[in-house]
């Protein structure tokens, strides 16, 4: 039986999404059921941006990079003359993504995510989380996680799931705060990575961030990252966009274990945002959402299914 008392998901309205989650957990924790899932196989993977916290008006890591560039310009005025820095400060993502190899974005990453020790990078992210505020909600970014998803994380953990973040975001960026914010330890984060270099300096060991061997943990890269870091197939997967489509497929299609796929649909412009019903480029319904009915994935209608969005609404 599920290992909780009372309603484990109080921020979820009664309805098909909540029912589907509770029914799945009841099924796989019932030792008498043929669908019983042994604890080591209870691997849950969560996208982060748009699934556990918002991704508008920009992914929060992009906001970090922009704030970081802004704060450095007084000390490093040459940055202001760089057209890619100008594009970043103007929020011109299209310009940064021009070219087949996204040179603009890589240049911004090189300026803000490489060339420093992992410890120095950690301190920079920590300082940013303390000082920065989300432009619309006027709160620290890490105070903006979705309360219903936090409840789901805790409910799964109480039922012996091991929760992993599987995000396109940089793993070093996320590991700074995931343990405090989600109760997920750093070693349970799969994200975009590049190699560090190791050196034993006079003050001790130093790992320095580079952009070498960049691995982008998105779309088809997510199952690849899951295999590389976790090494077994998840049984529960939560996402919100086409970046999560392949990991939803990997989790649920022809999985010999009983599995569960979930998509957060952003339908609430009042409390959060409304988007992704249609892809802006093709006008089609986002592929993963379009596939949900035939795949049996649970679509969470944020406006209908959640009675609260944030810890403090």
Q: Residue 292 in contact with residue 253, Cβ under 8 Å?
A: no
Which CB, 74 or 256, lies closer to its own copies? 256
Nearest to 237 by CA among 135, 166, 286, 313: 166
Which CB, 43 or 66, lies closer to its own copies? 43
Backbone angles phi, psi at 74, to 5 degrees: -60, -35
Q: Residue 46 in contact with residue 150, Cβ under 8 Å?
A: no
Which range of residues in 84-92, 215-223, 267-275, 292-300 is near its own copies by CB under 8 A?
Answer: 215-223
For its own copies, the binding residues in 94-153 under the rule CB under 8 A are 118
Which range of residues in 144-152, 223-231, 281-289, 296-304 is near its own copies by CB under 8 A?
Answer: 223-231
Which range of residues in 25-33, 68-76, 172-180, 299-307 is near its own copies by CB under 8 A?
Answer: 172-180
Q: Residue 123 in contact with residue 45, Cβ under 8 Å?
A: no
Among 5, 254, 282, 294, binds its own copies (CB under 8 A): 254
Cβ atoms within 10 Å of 255's Cβ, excluding its own: 15
CB of 163 to its own copies, least distance (A): 12
Which CB, 13 or 196, lies closer to its own copies? 196
Which range of residues in 4-12, 90-98, 129-137, 199-207 is near its own copies by CB under 8 A?
Answer: 199-207
CB of 200 to its own copies, least distance (A): 5
Spatial distance between the Cα atoms of 57 and 124, rounded to a whole number of angstroms: 22
- CB burial string 146-177: b at 16+ within 10 A, e below: bbbbbbbbbbbbebebbbbbbbbbbbbbbbbb
- CB burial string 277-301: b at 16+ within 10 A, e below: eeeeeeeeebebbebbeeeebbbbb
CB of 212 to its own copies, least distance (A): 10
Among 31, 32, 213, 282, binds its own copies (CB under 8 A): 213
CB of 132 to its own copies, least distance (A): 22
By CB under 8 A, tell whether 200 contacts its own copies.
yes
Give the DSSP letter of residue 58. S
Which CB, 295 or 303, lies closer to its own copies? 295
Among 1, 253, 277, 312, binds its own copies (CB under 8 A): 253
By CB under 8 A, how many residues form the interface with its own copies? 42
CB of 114 to its own copies, least distance (A): 14
CB of 192 to its own copies, least distance (A): 11
By CB under 8 A, tell whether 207 contacts its own copies.
yes
Strands (E), the chain: 43-46, 162-170, 189-192, 196-201, 204-209, 236-239, 260-265, 298-301
Q: Residue 9 in contact with residue 22, Cβ under 8 Å?
A: yes
> Residue 232: is it exposed, middle or buried by C-beta count within 10 angstroms (0-12/13-18/19+)?
exposed
CA-CA distances (angstroms) from residue 231 to 153, 191, 226, 247?
Answer: 21, 15, 7, 14
Q: Give the binding site for its own copies (CB under 8 A).
A: 40, 43, 118, 162, 164, 171-172, 175, 179, 185-189, 193, 195-198, 200, 203-205, 207, 213, 215, 220-221, 223-224, 227-232, 246, 249-250, 253-255
């Amino acid at each position: 039986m599920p290992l909780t008392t009372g309603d484990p998901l109080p921020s979820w309205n009664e309805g098909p999404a909540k029912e589907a989650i509770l029914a799945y957990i009841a099924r796989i924790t019932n030792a008498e059921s043929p669908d019983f899932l042994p604890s080591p196989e209870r691997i849950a993977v969560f996208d982060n941006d748009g699934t556990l916290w918002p991704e508008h008006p920009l992914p929060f890591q992009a906001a970090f990079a922009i704030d970081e560039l802004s704060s450095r310009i007084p000390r490093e005025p040459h940055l202001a003359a760089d057209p890619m820095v100008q594009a970043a400060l103007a929020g011109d993502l299209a310009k940064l993504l021009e070219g087949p190899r996204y040179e603009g974005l890589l240049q911004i990453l090189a300026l803000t995510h490489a060339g420093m020790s992992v410890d120095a990078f950690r301190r920079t992210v920590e300082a940013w989380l303390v000082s920065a505020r989300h432009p619309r909600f006027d709160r620290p970014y890490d105070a903006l996680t979705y309360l219903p998803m936090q409840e789901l994380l805790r409910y799964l953990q109480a039922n012996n799931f091991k929760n992993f973040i599987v995000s396109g975001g940089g793993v070093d960026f996320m590991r700074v705060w995931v343990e405090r914010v989600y109760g997920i330890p750093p070693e349970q984060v799969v994200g975009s990575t590049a190699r560090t270099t190791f050196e034993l300096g006079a003050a001790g060991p130093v790992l320095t961030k580079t952009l070498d061997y960049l691995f982008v943990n998105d779309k088809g890269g997510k199952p690849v990252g899951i295999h590389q870091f976790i090494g077994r197939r998840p049984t529960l997967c939560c996402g919100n966009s086409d970046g999560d489509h392949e990991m939803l497929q990997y989790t649920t299609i022809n999985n010999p274990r009983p599995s569960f796929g979930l998509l957060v649909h952003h339908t609430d412009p009042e409390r959060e945002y409304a988007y992704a019903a249609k892809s802006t480029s093709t006008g089609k319904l986002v592929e993963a959402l379009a596939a949900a009915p035939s795949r049996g994935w649970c679509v969470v209608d944020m406006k209908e299914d959640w009675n609260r969005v944030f810890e403090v609404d």
